[in-house]
Amino acid sequence: MFTIEQLAGFVAVAEELHFGRAAERLNMTQPPLSRQIQKLEKTVGVELLTRNNRKVELTSAGAGFLEDARRLLTLVQRAPLAAQRVAAGHTGLLRIGFTAASSFSILGPLLEEIAETIPDVDIDLREMVTGEQLAGLGSGELDLGIGRPPFDKDLFASRLLYREGLVLAVPDGHRLAQLHRDISPTDFKDEPIIMHSPTEARYFYDLVVKMLPLHHGNVVHTVSQILTMVCLVAAKRGVAFVPQSTALLGVAGVRFLPLESQQGDPVELHAIWSRSSTNPALTRLLESLSM
């Protein structure tokens, strides 16, 4: 195998067509340069330069090899720089998983912020529920998740991105929409309810069950996605508890009514990442976001 130094030597000689000047350019003496070229020619198996002690010329094969040598050398120079940029988090790839509901609210502004912070990092976006996000983060297939608790605080770190209230989604013209006041549990005790799936949307299920006294007999549907819920409400199949930001969707035929007696804004959305992550782009993003 030949050496990168040999390639550099060959390019210098090919450009100067003079061993002495080439050696000077390379900060060395002629003899080792001469030997380098000889070794290079031996390993390549071809005479690259014709040199009759008075004139140095490229052979046809040498002219062709010169192009490859230049390509090789530029790549040799750039590869470490590219690696350094990746290591510094200035470039690379960030794979982000997000819940469908998060795209109604925080995802857009967050992506803008990411684009400003690490503009040269490629962003790979995948819609997935929180459970899938955690699996991806754990296996290294994902760098950042935008999801909801709970998750293992030992394995994952997080940052609260967004906090909002829960509202009641009802069809347009529904009798509760006429009240023009906050809705209390007694208001919907006889209403058909479109409920969150206890497995696929565990966060919302637990939240609603904990916050509100429900008659489980009123549940007419169990679904996993907020968007599906809103569609079913628009189809007048019942009412549903959804995060406030769902109103931003602008689905026709649905009204969003405030609920009384909420302590703070109970619906949380977190940025979640693996504590064992080594993606420098993630590190850099998190450092910038925490400022």
Q: Which residues bind DNA (CB under 7 A)?
A: 3, 5, 18-20, 27-32, 34-39, 51-54, 56
Query: Of DNA, its own copies, none, which one sits near residue 83, judging by CB under 5 to 8 A according to partner kind?
Result: its own copies
Query: Of its own copies, DNA, none, which one sits near residue 225, judging by CB under 5 to 8 A according to partner kind?
Result: none
CA 228 to chain centre: 26
User: What distance in Å separates the CA atoms of residue 41 and residue 28, rounded to the nearest whole number?
Assistant: 20
Query: Of DNA, its own copies, none, which one sits near residue 64, judging by CB under 5 to 8 A according to partner kind?
Result: its own copies
Asked if 2 and 38 count as a contact pair (C-beta separation under 8 A), the reply is: no
Q: Give me the phi and psi of 109, to 5 degrees please.
A: -60, -35
> DSSP assignment, residue 280?
H
Binding site for its own copies (CB under 8 A): 1-5, 43-48, 50, 59-65, 68-69, 71-72, 75-76, 78-80, 82-84, 86-87, 92-93, 278-281
Minimal distance, residue 44 CB to DNA, in Å: 15
Minimal distance, residue 50 CB to its own copies, in Å: 7
Tokens of 104: 């109604």
End-to-end Cα distance, the chain: 50
Minimal distance, residue 27 CB to DNA, in Å: 7
Nearer to its own copies, 93 or 160 (CB): 93
Point out which residues pair with 255 in neighbouring strands.
Answer: 170
User: Sign of the C-alpha dihedral, residues 122, 128, 130, 136?
Assistant: negative
Minimal distance, residue 238 CB to DNA, in Å: 51
User: What distance in Å separates the CA atoms of residue 91 and residue 173, rounded to the nearest whole number?
Assistant: 52
Query: Of DNA, its own copies, none, which one sits near residue 219, judging by CB under 5 to 8 A according to partner kind?
Result: none
Tokens of 176: 């509760």
Query: Of DNA, its own copies, none, which one sits near residue 74, judging by CB under 5 to 8 A according to partner kind?
Result: none
Whole-angstrom Cα Rg for the chain? 32
Query: Of DNA, its own copies, none, which one sits near residue 32, judging by CB under 5 to 8 A according to partner kind?
Result: DNA
Q: Give me the phi and psi of 51, to 5 degrees please.
A: -140, 115
Nearer to DNA, 53 or 261 (CB): 53
Minimal distance, residue 214 CB to DNA, in Å: 46
Nearer to DNA, 58 or 183 (CB): 58
Nearer to DNA, 53 or 77 (CB): 53
* Side chain identity at residue 203, one-letter code: Y
Minimal distance, residue 83 CB to its own copies, in Å: 4
Kindly compute the dihedral angle of the four CA atoms of residues 21, 24, 29, 33, in this order, to the nearest 10 degrees. Answer: -60
CA 184 to chain centre: 41
Query: Of DNA, its own copies, none, which one sits near residue 87, judging by CB under 5 to 8 A according to partner kind?
Result: its own copies
